[in-house]
Structure 1
Amino acid sequence: MRLVRFVAEGLVRFGHLEGDTVVPVAGDSFVEALEGKEKGAPLALSVVHLLAPVPRPGKILGIGVNYAAHAAESVSFINTAKLEVQKWFNKQATAVNGPYDPVHLPKVSGQLDYEGELVAVIGRHGRHVPRARAMEIVAGFCIGCDYSVRDWQKASQTMIMGKGFDTHAPFGPALVTPDEIEDLPGLEVRSYVNGEQRQSGHVRDMIHDIAAQIEHLTAAFTLEPGDVIFTGTPAGVGAGFDPPKWLKAGDRVRIEIDGLGHIENEIVPEPDTTRIG
């Protein structure tokens, strides 16, 4: 199954992506949609606007330096000591963004960076889940980009401020269930900026695989349906170049993963607005 969330004719709905069509399903929430039956006439993919498959995750968690080559390029902006210990941060719920929607270039920084990643979405409650059973609580997988504001990331011991800017967690285009993926470790993650390939790495290259991540997280707290896990990025981020290749307004970032499709976001100036209430 490939579950999508979309807008059509002013209504937000869930559906099954089947080739170039979307078949609406019953249910107004992510959990309901996972069990939802097809309901309504198919729509052409070209007439719908895809949103992030989970509207407002209870948790957006990301693991840092989870590929050895990325760890090697990250010594200037991340603590890479003790890689055997998982390093976690969270992104804010307001960072959620659609797979093809604009990403804001922050007004407060010129150091916006990209991190193409495989995203795991939780489908069942899990606490103290052993590694051998970890995949039982995974609903499916998406493509994501963990946009990072590097100077703000370095200024916070937990990286939280540089990871949680609004619009900086696009993921999608569909939640692909595990039965649709023949070789999870063999999936390749690729990132492009304006058509130039910057990143390439395979899921099997992770220091801590997804099952180990879930075991570790659930030793501390419960994972719930709709929680989102960014599972790490390969080498090739902008900060790893000399000089760094920071993103700028007008850049287009495309992330591809075998069998999952792609997401693509344009970098735009952050709106100059104040909001209170």
Structure 2
Amino acid sequence: MNYASFVTSGDAPTWGVVEDGIAYDLGPTGANLAPTLRSAVEQGLFGMVGPELQNAPAYAEEAIKFLPAIPDPGKIVCVGVNYRSHQQETGREAHRTEQKAPTIFTRFADTQIGHLQPAQMPLTTSEFDYEGEMALVIGQPAFQVREADAFQYVAGYSIYNDFSVRDWQLATTQWTPGKNFPGTGGFGPYLVPATVLGDLDRLVLETRVNGEVRQKASVGDLYFTIPELIAYVTAFTKLSPGDVIVTGTPGGVGRFMTPSGLLAEGDVVEVEVTGLGTLRNTVELVH
């Protein structure tokens, strides 16, 4: 069952279930089970909805405007250089053999965009790049979680495109500026309950630019696994229901291609993950 945050008419945000091309409104403009998808996760409604769909207002999927899967997470924790193939292309593979902890940076919630919304390339950069990733959403309060228990804290999974302004990102050793321009955090289209995905190692992540495959990797190729990431992050900060961990991108980003594969205005970027759908955003130059 695919959950999503969206707008059906006007500017009123809501959320619901999207199945077989139909969006069922379970939020404040519909069945009103909870004000937001984040609230539904907090209240234990996520993944439990069933009969309520019969009485919920229904819309064609093409008629809704997708919002970020969780528009209002309290925290977005991102992981850098966490696939072996990306370590190789960045020249960090040798260093990683000695690395004891993941590279962590943060993204702000108000930088996020939904499926089919434009990725905003600032006029001040010539190095706009894509990073297809899988994201997880926390389902219950999590602090000092053991690796063995980590999956119990995951509500669901989604797709992320961590659009990056590379010249700002790499100007110093701190990546935060290049990861937080407005309209650069693609998130969605759906949030899928963890219980329906099964073995994560069988999932394949693929990123395409104008139809050309740029990234393709098994989620099983993560250097730091999802339990390791949850244990590490919750060792230093408390996570709440609706918080997001973005797990890293595989090799094949535009900056390290020859010739360069950096993005230009009008490029269409798609990130597909087995069982999670396809996140699509078109690059728009912001004047």
Aligned to 2:154: 138
Question: Structure 1 residues 261-270 or 17-26, which shifts more?
Answer: 17-26
SS of residue matched to 1:219: helix
Question: Structure 1 residues 204-213 or 66-75, which shifts more?
Answer: 66-75
> Separation in 2 of the partners of 1:163 and 1:18?
32
Query: Runs of 5+ in structure 1 lacking a partner?
Result: 273-277
Aligned to 1:14: 15
Residue 29 (structure 1) aligned with residue 36 (structure 2): yes
- Alignment check: 8 A CA contact 1:74 1:80 kept: no
Percent pairwise identity: 35
> Separation in 2 of the partners of 1:255 and 1:114?
10
Aligned to 1:172: 188
* AA in 2 matched with 1:230: V
Question: Structure 1 residues 238-247 or 126-135, which shifts more?
Answer: 238-247
* AA in 2 matched with 1:30: L
Residue 230 (structure 1) aligned with residue 246 (structure 2): yes
1:130-152 deviation per Cα after TM superposition (whole angstroms, max 9, x unaligned): 00111111110011101111111
Question: Structure 1 residues 42-51 or 157-166, which shifts more?
Answer: 42-51
Q: How does 1:133-212 map to 2 (within 5 A)?
A: 133-212=149-228
Judged with a 3 Å threshold, the aligned counterparts in structure 2 of structure 1 residues 73 and 269 are, in CA distance, closer, same or farther, namely: same
* AA in 2 matched with 1:28: P
Please point out which of 73, 77, 90 is paired with 2:89: 73
Q: Displacement, 1:158? A: 2.0
SS of residue matched to 1:62: strand
1:183-236 deviation per Cα after TM superposition (whole angstroms, max 9, x unaligned): 211100000011110000011000001111000000001011111111011110
- Alignment check: 8 A CA contact 1:16 1:24 kept: yes
Q: How does 1:233-248 map to 2 (within 5 A)?
A: 233-248=249-264
> Separation in 1 of the partners of 2:6 and 2:96?
39
Q: Displacement, 1:46? A: 2.1
The count of residues paired between Structure 1 and Structure 2 equals 269
What is the TM-score of this pair, normalised by structure 2?
0.89
* AA in 1 matched with 2:231: E
Q: Displacement, 1:80? A: 6.0
Q: Displacement, 1:42? A: 2.3
Q: Displacement, 1:43? A: 2.0
Please point out which of 98, 101, 105 is paired with 1:85: 101
> Separation in 1 of the partners of 2:182 and 2:24?
30
Q: Displacement, 1:81? A: 7.8
- Alignment check: 8 A CA contact 1:185 1:204 kept: yes
Aligned to 1:275: none
* AA in 2 matched with 1:3: Y
* AA in 2 matched with 1:22: A
- Alignment check: 8 A CA contact 1:66 1:207 kept: yes
Q: How does 1:61-140 map to 2 (within 5 A)?
A: 61-75=77-91, 82-140=98-156
RMSD: 1.7
- Alignment check: 8 A CA contact 2:115 2:187 kept: yes
Please point out which of 37, 41, 45 is paired with 2:61: 45
Query: Runs of 5+ in structure 2 lacking a partner?
Result: 27-32
Residue 4 (structure 1) aligned with residue 24 (structure 2): no
SS of residue matched to 2:188: strand
SS of residue matched to 2:236: coil
* AA in 1 matched with 2:178: G
What is the TM-score of this pair, normalised by structure 1?
0.92
> Separation in 1 of the partners of 2:191 and 2:236?
26
> Separation in 2 of the partners of 1:183 and 1:81?
26
Moved over 6 A (4+): none
> Separation in 2 of the partners of 1:131 and 1:239?
34
* AA in 1 matched with 2:18: L
SS of residue matched to 2:248: coil
* AA in 1 matched with 2:22: T
> Separation in 2 of the partners of 1:9 and 1:146?
28
> Separation in 2 of the partners of 1:81 and 1:109?
33
